[in-house]
């Protein structure tokens, strides 16, 4: 069960800090911890910094070190680019750099078990028939910790229905085999079948893995939910603390109620802005594609204004894969996947080719900071210069929601696509 939760709009920083203090007090009682000697903090990486998870992590760190604990931190990067020291200072404040460890998704993992192929097949309705090896960050699963604290933002997600909870382990601290098998399973099952569902097939598999392979860990989840206030500013609206699936479900139900915008009719044009200090590759900036694709009309357009984007993949080999094949439909990718060795070698990258495609339904236009028109068009997107995009759709002027331009063009503007899901009521169905 959820240990405790607080829901209000807004929840201020002081209240969240009080809840962090309460979390440490209750964890001792509930988990039988005499004193904090050695604690591991697992926050998201910089792509979720807007949720305030950095200062929350810093507050946990400060409180624990005041109690004499030896505290370490691993940003749950998955295969994203590691933080620079400057990134860490910006996100985590005064936490010393030597206490912040980089997750090595290729060489720094240990296998703790396997989700059987028959279980994966059952959860995906027969769409996927491979096992999922659970290779996790070695430091996390082999060293002794009095407590592991997962910190994060619960929001609609393209693979797991909603982000955070045990995603911190199985994506954020996963190895190459785990990342590849789970992302490809999601792509085969279908991104639009995952978005906004409380429990997706891959999350079923992760829940199985947590129950069977991580049961001995003393850990907890500190999760937040956010929503827009009357001034179109993202504010915290929920804090959910506990150590089981109910803690996730409570937060995910709140996110479902607050973070999904449902349209009666498809939208002809959406303009989305990806923040420069968080999104530097289309790999992560394509959240704009994932979160709006179910709202866009056939023949419509998505414009992604991404001043920080300077590459396609988070890793060189993934960048190369995207440049080689471009963003393709699910059927095209699955056909190539059968024969192409490079696709088979990095299936999480292959899955991204599907997730970043419009399946030919609508146009995706990118206005990037540091990719050329040739680069953008080579992967199947259309190009608009950043200068022209910012001049026409100035974020300082545009308002979240419907905007009518001086020439009569009507567009739906989204300032933070990573914070929600936009879809027609028809496509949402009964989620």
Say whether both 270 and 229 belong to one domain. Answer: no
**pLDDT value of residue 318:** 94
Q: How far is CA 414 from CA 20, 265, 297, 392, 423, in A?
A: 31, 17, 16, 15, 13
Mean pLDDT of the residues in the chain: 96
- Domain termination residue (choose one: 218, 236, 259): 259
Mean pLDDT of 372-392: 98
Q: Is the Cβ–Cβ distance between 421 and 291 less than 8 Å?
A: yes
Say whether both 279 and 419 belong to one domain. Answer: yes
Say whether both 78 and 158 belong to one domain. Answer: yes
Say whether both 17 and 154 belong to one domain. Answer: yes
Say whether both 83 and 217 belong to one domain. Answer: yes
Note the pLDDT tens digit of each residue in 257-271: 999 999 999 999 999
- Domain termination residue (choose one: 207, 235, 259): 259
**pLDDT value of residue 232:** 85
For 118-134, give the DSSP string. HHHHHHTTTS----EEE
Strand partners, 70: 38
Mean pLDDT of 107-129: 97
| Entry pTM | 0.93
DSSP 104: -
**pLDDT of 81 over the 90 cut:** no
Say whether both 16 and 95 belong to one domain. Answer: yes
| Non-local CB neighbours of 103 within 8 Å, separated by 6+ positions | 74, 75, 76, 77, 78, 82, 137, 172, 173
Distance CA 124, CA 120 (A): 6
pLDDT category of residue 430 using cuts at 50, 70 and 90? confident
pLDDT category of residue 366 using cuts at 50, 70 and 90? very high
- Domain termination residue (choose one: 214, 237, 259): 259
**pLDDT value of residue 361:** 97
Looking up residue 311, the CATH number of its domain turns out to be: 3.90.226.30
Q: Is the Cβ–Cβ distance between 349 and 316 less than 8 Å?
A: no
SS3 33: coil
Note the pLDDT tens digit of each residue in 342-354: 999 999 999 999 9
pLDDT category of residue 182 using cuts at 50, 70 and 90? very high
Range of the domain at 413: 264-428
SS3 70: strand
Number of domains in the chain: 2
Distance CA 414, CA 431 (A): 23
Least confident of 22-26, 418-422, 427-431: 427-431
Whole-number CA gyration radius for the chain = 21
Structure tokens at 336: 């190539």
Looking up residue 72, the CATH number of its domain turns out to be: 3.40.50.11440
**pLDDT of 16 over the 90 cut:** yes
**pLDDT value of residue 405:** 96
Say whether both 254 and 355 belong to one domain. Answer: no
Say whether both 169 and 29 belong to one domain. Answer: yes
In percent, how much of the chain has pLDDT > 70? 100
Distance CA 324, CA 305 (A): 23
Note the pLDDT tens digit of each residue in 321-342: 999 999 999 999 999 999 999 9
**pLDDT of 165 over the 90 cut:** yes
**pLDDT of 394 over the 90 cut:** yes
Distance CA 431, CA 428 (A): 6
Say whether both 89 and 216 belong to one domain. Answer: yes
Say whether both 205 and 84 belong to one domain. Answer: yes
| Non-local CB neighbours of 105 within 8 Å, separated by 6+ positions | 77, 78, 79, 174, 175, 176, 179
SS3 364: strand
Say whether both 297 and 392 belong to one domain. Answer: yes
**pLDDT of 369 over the 90 cut:** yes
Say whether both 348 and 223 belong to one domain. Answer: no
**pLDDT of 198 over the 90 cut:** yes
What 3 state SS string does 39-67 have?
A: EEEECCCHHHHHHCHHHHHHHHHHHHHHC
């Amino acid at each position: 069960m959820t240990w405790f939760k607080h829901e209000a709009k807004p929840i201020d920083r002081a209240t969240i800090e009080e809840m962090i203090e309460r979390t440490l007090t209750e964890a001792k009682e509930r988990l039988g911890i005499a004193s904090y000697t050695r604690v591991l903090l697992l926050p998201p990486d910089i792509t979720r910094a807007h949720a305030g998870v950095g200062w929350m992590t810093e507050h946990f760190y400060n409180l624990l070190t005041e109690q004499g604990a030896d505290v370490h931190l691993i940003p749950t990067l998955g295969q994203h680019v590691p933080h620079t020291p400057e990134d860490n200072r910006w996100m985590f404040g005064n936490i010393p750099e030597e206490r912040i460890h980089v997750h090595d998704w290729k060489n720094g993992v240990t296998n703790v078990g396997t989700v059987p192929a028959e279980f994966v097949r059952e959860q995906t309705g027969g769409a996927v028939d491979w096992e999922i090896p659970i290779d996790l960050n070695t430091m996390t699963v082999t060293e002794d910790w009095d407590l592991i604290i997962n910190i994060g933002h619960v929001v609609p997600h393209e693979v797991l229905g909603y982000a955070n909870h045990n995603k911190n382990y199985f994506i954020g601290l996963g190895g190459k085999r785990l990342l590849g098998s789970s992302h490809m399973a999601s792509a085969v099952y279908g991104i639009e079948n995952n978005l906004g569902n409380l429990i997706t097939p891959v999350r079923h598999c992760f829940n199985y893995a947590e129950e069977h392979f991580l049961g001995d860990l003393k850990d907890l989840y500190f999760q937040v939910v956010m929503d827009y206030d009357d001034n179109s500013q993202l504010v915290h609206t929920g804090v959910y603390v506990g150590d089981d699936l109910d803690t996730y479900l409570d937060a995910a139900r709140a996110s479902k109620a607050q973070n999904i915008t449902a349209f009666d009719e498809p939208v002809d044009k959406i303009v989305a802005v990806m923040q420069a200090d968080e999104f530097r590759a289309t790999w992560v900036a394509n959240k704009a594609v994932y979160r709006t694709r179910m709202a866009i009309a056939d023949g419509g357009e998505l414009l992604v204004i991404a001043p920080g984007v300077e590459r396609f993949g988070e890793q060189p080999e993934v960048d190369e894969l995207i440049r080689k094949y471009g963003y393709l439909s699910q059927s095209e990718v699955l056909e190539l996947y059968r024969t192409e060795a490079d696709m088979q070698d990095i299936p999480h990258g292959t899955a991204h080719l599907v997730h970043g495609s419009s399946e030919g339904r609508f146009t995706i236009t990118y206005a990037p900071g540091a990719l050329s028109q040739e680069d953008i068009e080579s992967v199947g997107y259309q190009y608009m210069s950043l200068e022209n995009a910012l001049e026409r759709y100035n974020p300082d002027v545009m308002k979240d929601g419907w905007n009518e331009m001086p020439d009569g063009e009507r567009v739906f503007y989204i300032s933070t696509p990573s914070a929600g899901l936009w879809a027609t009521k028809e496509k949402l169905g009964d989620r």
